Amino acid sequence: MKNVKNLGLTLIIAFGSAFVTLWAYTQFFEEPQVVRVEEKQAMQYANLPSAPQGEAPDLTYAAENSVHAVVHVKVTSKEDVTTYSNPFYDWFYGDRYQRQQPRVREGSGSGVIISSDGYIVTNNHVIDQADDIKVVLNDKREFEAKLVGRDETTDIALLKIEAEQLTALKFGNSDALKLGEWVLAVGNPFNLTSTVTAGIVSAKGRNIGINRADMSIESFIQTDAAVNPGNSGGALVNMNSELVGINTAIASQTGSYSGYSFAIPSAIVQKVIGDLKQYGQVQRALLGVGISDINASVAEKFDLAKIEGVFVGSVSPGGAAEEAGIKENDVILSVDGVSVNSVAQLQEQVGKHRPGDSVKVLIKRDNKSKPYTVTLRNMHGDTEILTADVNEFLGAKFDNVTENEKYKLRINQGIKITELSRGKLKDAGLREGFIITHVNKQEVSGVNDMRAIVKRAKGGIFIEGVYPNGERAYFVFSTEE
């Protein structure tokens, strides 16, 4: 967020209507189909050369081939709102006269069809807490959408509609984007469907601090293509009509476009939706280092000959980096041959991989470069792929805690029990709705955290947490049968 703060701007999520809650490699899908054009026209527009100096580029091919693959995402959510029949009664008699009245909130955003059989990618903040999701195609057909999976750390969600032979966008290589390259933003700002705007790539690898989720990845493509509320989840395409990003946020003092917009690179999007489709959750690969950007003061303090790369401030004991030979005060110059000069760029390159993948990391130590091969690990320190059934454990099913619940209950993390059947948790007295925040005094942000803690434990398990009404509770049970 520091880059935007320097401009004195307020970051605004590009998400329309009243439903505004903050929190829009390998090919895993079948080959997407794009709008068919006559061979002569395709030859005319494909690989368009740069426009002569003083002339605007021809963006018609990109616009015509992308607009039919961008959809309108409409969401509704239901909540109970507390009202009072008489404020004077409330003053004298407390809240005995309060009533719970249902309220429906509506919102909208955009999405991109990425396979002809109905898979659609959008932003997580577009569908967060939605009870119903509808997708309206460019030809006005409307479908109920199923949420396949979502990832708060990258603000990506994957939807599925029951339809065939849809127009889809091919993925482009976001790593190959160059500063000054022309791009189009396609979406539904202010409920104005099928809107196309144009601009250039203004910057890459931007970390604007807008994603508050733990272990979030931010390495935005910054453009000056006009993006407004409702554009969230829409497409950022290059001149060949390839999807190179998902439009997500704007920087503005007013809530409307002021010249800066940000998109999630397609390299990250492909990895996330591939994981969601194949495993039901994102497989996060970790390097096992504490890192920071390098500036003049860091270079002077550690006698670095050049300001480049990412500084390694710490190395996790027994982690992937330490095992490979990387040390504290090293400088990471590149990952698999891609130069990294900021924390955001390094996170983007590592974020493309899964636990168990090996990457080539170029390290500078004592101003000399040396390559290392690092086998990435998951959050538990091993190389296993986490399966979708991890949301069931000890006779319970769990869900993530929303940002609103965290704020309301004043907690930083936790997992919420959604269903209980016969098992140790029910026997210990836990009830549905209870949010587990700590197990054996260790923080729990996901079911995998709890699973790993219980696996390591010997004897008793001590659970701490809170119910939705704010009541805190503690439970103890034994791991022994």
Residues serving a catalytic function are 125, 155, 232
Please name which of 340, 168, 181, 149 lies closest in space to residue 263, comparing C-alpha atoms. Answer: 181
Torsion, CA 244, CA 247, CA 248, CA 253, rounded to 10:
130
- Residue 400 CB partners (closer than 8 Å, separation 6+): 152, 415, 416, 446
DSSP symbol at 169: P
C-alpha dist (Å) from residue 208 to 1, 110, 155, 451: 3, 22, 13, 33
CA-CA distance, 309 to 367, in Å (whole number)?
Answer: 12
What is the side-by-side order of every strand in the sheet holding 119-123? 142-144, 132-136, 70-84, 98-113, 119-123, 156-160, 146-151
The full DSSP string for 48-79 is: PPPPPTTS----HHHHHHHGGGEEEEEEEEEE
Q: Regarding beta strands 142-144 and 132-136, do their DSSP bridges make them parallel or antiparallel, or are they unpaired?
A: antiparallel
- Residue 148 CB partners (closer than 8 Å, separation 6+): 119, 158, 159, 160, 276, 277
The Cβ-side half-sphere exposure at 203, using a 13 Å CA radius, reads 16
Q: Terminal CA-to-CA distance of the chain, rounded, Å?
A: 50
Please name which of 469, 461, 476, 392 lies closest in space to residue 430, comparing C-alpha atoms. Answer: 476
Q: Which helix (H) or strand (E) holds 148?
A: strand 146-151
Length of the chain counted residue by residue: 481
| Contact indicator for 200, 22 with CB cutoff of 8 Å | no
Phi-psi domain of 31 (left: phi exceeds 0; alpha: psi -120 through 50; beta: other): beta
Q: φ, ψ for residue 43 (rounded to 5)? A: -65, -30
User: Around Cβ 195, how many Cβ atoms within 10 Å?
Assistant: 21
Q: Taking each helix axis from N to C terminus, what angle separates 343-351 and 266-279, rounded to the nearest 10 degrees?
A: 40
